Amino acid sequence: MKRHLVSAADLTRDDALLILDTAEELAQLSGRAVKKLPTLRGRTVVNLFFEDSTRTKTSFEVAEKRLSADVINFSAKGSSVSKGESLKDTALTLQAMGADAVVIRHHASGAPARLAQSDWLHGSVINAGDGTHEHPTQALLDAFTMRRHLNAGAGKDLAGRRITIVGDILHSRVARSNVHLLTTLGAQVTFVAPPTLVPIGIENWPCEVSYDLESVLPKTDALMMLRVQRERMNAAFFPTEREYSRRYGLDGARLAQLPEHAIVMHPGPMVRGMEITAEVADSPRCTVVEQVANGVSVRMAVLYLLLGGAVFADGATEPARPEARTDSSEAAL
């Protein structure tokens, strides 16, 4: 596994399964009275958030604290960034303070990649969402949720499963990360969106595109609704909210067209009444709350795998698969 997690496309099938299997074990922790492991004791993780976020930031913070890391929250508002400090200077400051990992959310696509490629920081860089580019831990928690419902068990992937992602594909980093990861795990991805919200060059992505939600529903195993990101829209992408809702919103009637086993997902925050009706959002088939809980387990797994072991000279960390463990009978801890 690489030292950084910048893009879901960097993950091989083995890496992805290792993260999901590790997360599955770590999920047990939430049921315990003592929700804490000593694994990252003495390591410092900085949450560097240049963009507002409650869900992702809290999720990372809980994951870091459950692994006993020292957590420093750094938000752009009220920091030197608002005084004009550059990303490089911020990174050098964090390096000087001894950060072992930086979880970064930035409004500019590519900011985490810049940080990972530079020599400003020696620690791991974890992308917590960059512009309209990627959000790999969200894709991992989505895949984790899908695997639990559609093909549960350690070592299992999503081969042959059909995943439909509906809505604002153009501005969605969740959709970008998901298409890479789900394809790596063997799933077929279909995007459904108004033509104006489909990115240019999508024909090069490993997915299908449809403009008709109804025709896709009966052959969908997991349906992921995306939020329409009005804050990123600088032009009119569809005539009215009502029209969008009628063509691409999920209501009870459309839910009924899904196969029995299919689940409904949403990365949140949901805009009830527009992309999803309250009836669907509150139905037992909607996994939104479960996704949040799974987010903590998946982020713990990523932090453990990136930070929990030794880092070698080339920067790579190579987690041993269980079959490669031979020292058990030596008890040489």
Partner 1 sequence: MTTVRDSSSAPRPPHQVLDATDIARVVTRIAHEIVERAKGAEDVVLLGIHTRGVHLARRLHAKLTQITGREIPLGTLDITMYRDDLRLKPARALEHTEIPGGGIDGKLVILVDDVLFSGRTIRAALDALSDIGRPRAVQLAVLVDRGHRELPIRADYVGKNLPTSLREAVQVQLSDTDGRDAVLVGDRDYAARSSQALAAQPPADQPLPE
**Site for partner 1 contains 326 (CB under 8 A):** yes
The answer to whether the CB of 262 falls within 8 A of the CB of 287 is: no
List 97, 154, 253, 278, residue binding partner 1 (CB under 8 A): 154
**Backbone angle region of 203, left / alpha / beta, with phi > 0 → left and psi within -120 to 50 → alpha:** alpha
Structure-block tokens of residue 21:
């299997």
The answer to whether the CB of 115 falls within 8 A of the CB of 102 is: yes
Beta bridge partners of 103: 47, 126
Residues 229-232: contacts with CB under 8 Å, at least 24 apart? 229/168, 229/171, 229/172, 232/132, 232/171
The answer to whether the CB of 46 falls within 8 A of the CB of 72 is: yes
**Site for partner 1 contains 325 (CB under 8 A):** yes
Binding segment toward partner 1, per CB under 8 A, in 133-141, 228-236, 273-281, 320-328: 320-328
Binding segment toward partner 1, per CB under 8 A, in 34-42, 86-94, 196-204, 265-273: 34-42
**Site for partner 1 contains 25 (CB under 8 A):** yes
Separation of first and last alpha carbons in the chain: 23
Q: Which is nearer to partner 1, 66 or 114 (CB)?
A: 66
**Site for partner 1 contains 21 (CB under 8 A):** yes
CA 220, CA 234: separation in Å to the nearest integer? 32
Beta bridge partners of 104: 48, 127
Least separation in angstroms between residue 275's CB and partner 1 is 36
Amino acid (1-letter code) at residue 172: S
How far is C-alpha 300 from the geometric centre of its chain's CA atoms? 12
Binding segment toward partner 1, per CB under 8 A, in 83-91, 177-185, 275-283, 311-319: 311-319
CA 178, CA 201: separation in Å to the nearest integer? 17
List 200, 236, 256, 333, residue binding partner 1 (CB under 8 A): 333
**Site for partner 1 contains 305 (CB under 8 A):** yes
Q: Which is nearer to partner 1, 199 or 309 (CB)?
A: 309
List 131, 199, 268, 309, residue binding partner 1 (CB under 8 A): 309
**Site for partner 1 contains 210 (CB under 8 A):** no
**Site for partner 1 contains 328 (CB under 8 A):** yes
Binding segment toward partner 1, per CB under 8 A, in 72-80, 240-248, 258-266, 316-324: 316-324
Least separation in angstroms between residue 7's CB and partner 1 is 20
List 26, 27, 174, 296, residue binding partner 1 (CB under 8 A): 26
The answer to whether the CB of 166 falls within 8 A of the CB of 248 is: yes
DSSP secondary structure string for all residues of 59-75: HHHHHHHHTT-EEEEEE
List 96, 152, 235, 331, residue binding partner 1 (CB under 8 A): 331
Q: Which is nearer to partner 1, 45 or 224 (CB)?
A: 45
Q: Which is nearer to partner 1, 155 or 218 (CB)?
A: 155
Beta bridge partners of 72: 46
Point out which residues bind partner 1 (CB under 8 A): 18, 21-22, 25-26, 28, 32-34, 36-39, 154, 304-310, 312, 317-322, 325-326, 328-333
